[in-house]
Amino acid sequence: MEVPSQPLMKPEQVPAPGSSRPADALRPRLRAVPASTQPVVLVAQHNRISQRLLVSLLSRRGYDPCLSMGPHQAFEMIQRHPGRFVMAILDLRDPLAGELDELRACKIRMGEACPPLIVLGNNPSSDARAACRDAGADFYLTDGLRDGLLSRAVDFIAHSRLPMGFRLPQSSEPAPSLLDDATVERLLSMGEGGGFLEEVFRDLRDDVREHLWVMDRALKRQDYALWRSGLHALKGAALSAGAALLTELCIEGEALCQQALQAGLCLGHLARIRRAWEETQTALQQIIEDARAQRVSGAG
C-alpha cells in the first residue's frame, strides 16, 4: 500500500496578508474511504516507517488500513463517515500539546458512534496517560510498535468491540484445546465413576475463585506483582487439572508487561480467562456426569 505524504505548499498557495481566502482551502483533501468488505482502521501517523509497520500489522490481521495525513484530518474523517471505521490509531506525539481537545470534541459529538481510539505518543508521564483517558481514548501507548502492545490493543478491540457483521481471517495456528485429554483420562482412572476427578474439580473451583479474586484486585490496584502472582497460582491449578486453555491463557498473561497493565490490556485478558473458565467448568462437569452414568449403568 502506498503511503501518502503531504506535499510542500507552493509559494502561490500562501494567502496574501488580509486575504479572505478561508484557511480550510489549504487543508489536504480527505482521502476517499475504501469501499471494502474488510473492517477499516483509520491511521494517523506522521512517521513513514511507522506507517508501513502499522499497515503491515493491520493487514496481517485482516483489516483495511486507511491513512490520513494527521490527527486533525482523522477526526474530520471519523465525523464525516460515522460507523465506517472499526477503530482509529492516532499518533499525537505529546498528547499534552493540545490535540486532545479535538479528540474530546470528537467523542462528544459522535457519542457511541465514535470508533475505539488508540492514541500513540512519546510522553510516558502519568499526566499524559490520565489526560488521554479523560479525553476519551481507549488506550494510550508510548512504545506500542516496539514491544507489541499495539497489536494486543488491536486484538483486544477486535474481540470485544468489533461491530456485528465483520469477520477477521482465522489464524492458521490451531486453537489450544479446552482440556488436556491425557490428564483428564488419568484423573478419571484414579477413581471409580469419576469420583476422583470430581474431587479435583471441586478443589479447582475453590482455587480458581480465589486466584481470580486476587487478579481482579491486582488490576484495581494496578499492582503488577500481584497480577503475576495470581496468574502463576492459577496456571499451576489449571495445569494439574488438565485445563489446557486456561493454562495457555495464564502463560500469555504472564508475558504481558507492566505497561500493558497500565494500558488496560490485562483487563481484557482477565475477561478471556473468565470465559475460558466457564467453558472449562461446563466440559468437566459433563465428563463427570458421563462417568457417573456409566458407573450406574454398569452396576445395573
Q: What is the CATH number of the domain that holds 225?
A: 1.20.120.160
Residues 152 and 192 in one domain: no
pLDDT tens digits along 44-85:
988 777 788 888 888 888 899 999 988 999 999 999 998 889
Residue 291 pLDDT more than 90?
no
What's the mean pLDDT when you consider all of the chain?
79
Residues 80 and 40 in one domain: yes
Residues 228 and 151 in one domain: no
Residues 47 and 117 in one domain: yes
Does residue 202 form part of some domain?
Answer: yes
- Give the domain range for residue 94: 36-161
pLDDT tens digits along 120-152:
988 888 888 889 988 989 888 886 666 567 888
Query: Which residue would you say has higher pLDDT here, 260 or 249?
Result: 249
Q: What is the pLDDT of residue 240?
A: 86
pLDDT band at 98 (very low <50, low <70, confident <90, very high): confident
Residues 196 and 147 in one domain: no
Does residue 21 form part of some domain?
Answer: no
pLDDT tens digits along 224-244:
899 999 999 999 889 888 999
pLDDT band at 211 (very low <50, low <70, confident <90, very high): very high
Give this prediction's pTM.
0.53
Query: What's the domain count of the chain?
Result: 2
Least confident of 93-97, 117-121, 140-144, 163-167: 163-167
Residues 235 and 287 in one domain: yes
Does residue 240 form part of some domain?
Answer: yes
Q: What is the pLDDT of residue 243?
A: 92
Q: What is the pLDDT of residue 278?
A: 95
Residues 140 and 194 in one domain: no
Residues 157 and 192 in one domain: no
Cell numbers for 132: 488521554
Rounded to the nearest angstrom, the gap between the alpha carbon of residue 76 and the centroid of all alpha carbons in its chain is: 25
Does residue 4 form part of some domain?
Answer: no
Residue 15 pLDDT more than 50?
no
Residues 138 and 217 in one domain: no
Residues 153 and 221 in one domain: no
CATH number assigned to the domain comprising residue 95: 3.40.50.2300
Does residue 250 form part of some domain?
Answer: yes
Q: What is the pLDDT of residue 218?
A: 93
Q: What is the pLDDT of residue 182?
A: 86
Contact between 26 and 13 (Cβ < 8 Å): yes
Does residue 176 form part of some domain?
Answer: no
Residue 17 pLDDT more than 80?
no
